[in-house]
Chain A
Amino acid sequence: MACEQWRSQLDAYLDGELPSEAMRSLDAHLRGCLACAADALARVQFKRSIKNAGMRFAPSAELRSKIQKSIAPPARRNWNIGWKLGTATLGLALVVGAVTSYLGRENIREQQLYSELTDLHVATLASPNPVDVVSSDRHTVKPWFQGKVPFTFNLPELQNTDFTLLGGRVAYLGQTSGAHLIFQVRQHEISVFIFPEPAGTWNFRNESKVERKQTFNVEEWNQDGLRYTVFGDASPEDIQKLSALLKAVAGS
């Protein structure tokens, strides 16, 4: 192929919009062709300059508080949930948007799920009242969920382990309610999400091993019609240990 033709694909290539095969061919060409590589470099620099120049205007603090007040939820529950969902989706869209152009289309759904879980995890830990039922006693936490989520689940005995149960809250994912439990191991907090399967239309995978998602460590599996997701910044070993404890009691 002539350089002219390669160059006609450069912009789409740098925008991350070429199909992966074309991407690889162009990669190979750029490694061998100094002129095209220089062209690509110039375009990258131009892209970066536009990005820097484009981040130009910052909103005033007055505008922020004005809008915050105008969208403050009146004391109506539905409204409140609607906006919370909206905020979660906004956050989700943000994270997803940033990575969209660099991911294969087939990964998008999965990424959306993890983005939403990341939001739930981070937003919960950032809150002054992270849990609605504050107890390290599994016999207190489990019954609290009765009537709040459409299923029941077992919690492990944590004596003689490094883990402590901090409490739980009801979480929403894909318009389904589920349990969000917070465990602590040393200085790390780990979220455990339990949702009926399938929650929404998410395309879950079935193998269970600790993976890195959105810079967090995650292990997830299906058991007894429920989807378990163990999620946090703790080490993969800790995530795995907690997952094993949960798996052991889930079937009992």
Chain B
Amino acid sequence: MPLFDQLYNFAHWLAQDRDEAEDLVQETFAKALRGFSSFQQGTNFRAWMYRILRNTFLNSRTGRKAMMTVPLEHDEDGPVAVAVDTQTPEAILIDRSDQHLLQAALDELPVNFREILLLCEVEEMSYQEIAETLGVPIGTVMSRLSRARRALRGLVRGKLQGTQKG
């Protein structure tokens, strides 16, 4: 079962709970199998699978709750140039021992930021694939990704300063 490990990792990040993640993955495979005829050959299979998983999550109680805390992004579809991240990242050097710090920061991100970062960095999806998975235009992918990175940097910075003080 290719994609199984990746889908599970993604599900666990979304649901933030092992039991729920397991249910999500199981349901995703069941739906994919049932709906295989609706998959159009030549379109992106991976994006299709992730989309099923994500929609299943969004329809769950946890998913609906998580989406309620997502901030409104009314200007998301504005010109890309406005949204791209020109903020200079002072080198945030995170070595292996700090990995849990970054994970904690990812956990704290709103779910729409967390998922787009995972799709981009962990799954190494192209913007086009991410757009297909999330069902949004590419411009939105770019601006949301840039906000997500900025938000994550902010959280990490805060945590690093916190540990220095402590």
- Are B121 and A93 touching (Cβ within 8 A)? no
The 17 sampled A-B contact pairs (Cβ below 8 Å) are: A11-B145, A15-B127, A15-B145, A45-B94, A50-B122, A51-B121, A53-B99, A56-B9, A56-B12, A57-B8, A58-B8, A67-B25, A71-B33, A82-B36, A90-B46, A100-B125, A101-B124
- Are A63 and B22 touching (Cβ within 8 A)? yes
- Are B84 and A11 touching (Cβ within 8 A)? yes
B106 interface residue per 8 A CB criterion: yes
What chain B residues lie within 8 Å of A52 (beta carbons)?
Answer: 96, 99
Q: Is the interface of B mostly helix, strand, loop or mixed?
A: helix
State which size class the interface on A falls in. 35 or more
A101 CA / B126 CA spacing, docked (Å): 5
Closest approach, in angstroms, between the C-beta of A124 and any C-beta of chain B? 16
B142 interface residue per 8 A CB criterion: yes
A52 CA / B44 CA spacing, docked (Å): 25
A158 interface residue per 8 A CB criterion: no
User: Which B residues lie at the A interface, using CB under 8 A?
Assistant: 1-5, 8-9, 12-13, 18, 21-22, 25-26, 29-30, 32-33, 36-37, 39, 41-42, 44-46, 49, 81, 84-86, 88-94, 96, 99, 102-103, 106, 117-118, 120-129, 142, 145-146, 149, 152-153
What chain A residues lie within 8 Å of B85 (beta carbons)?
Answer: 8, 11
- Are B93 and A59 touching (Cβ within 8 A)? no
Instruction: Considering the complex, give the chain A residue whose CB is closest to the CB of B94.
Output: A49
- Are A42 and B46 touching (Cβ within 8 A)? no
- Are B13 and A57 touching (Cβ within 8 A)? yes
- Are B121 and A54 touching (Cβ within 8 A)? yes
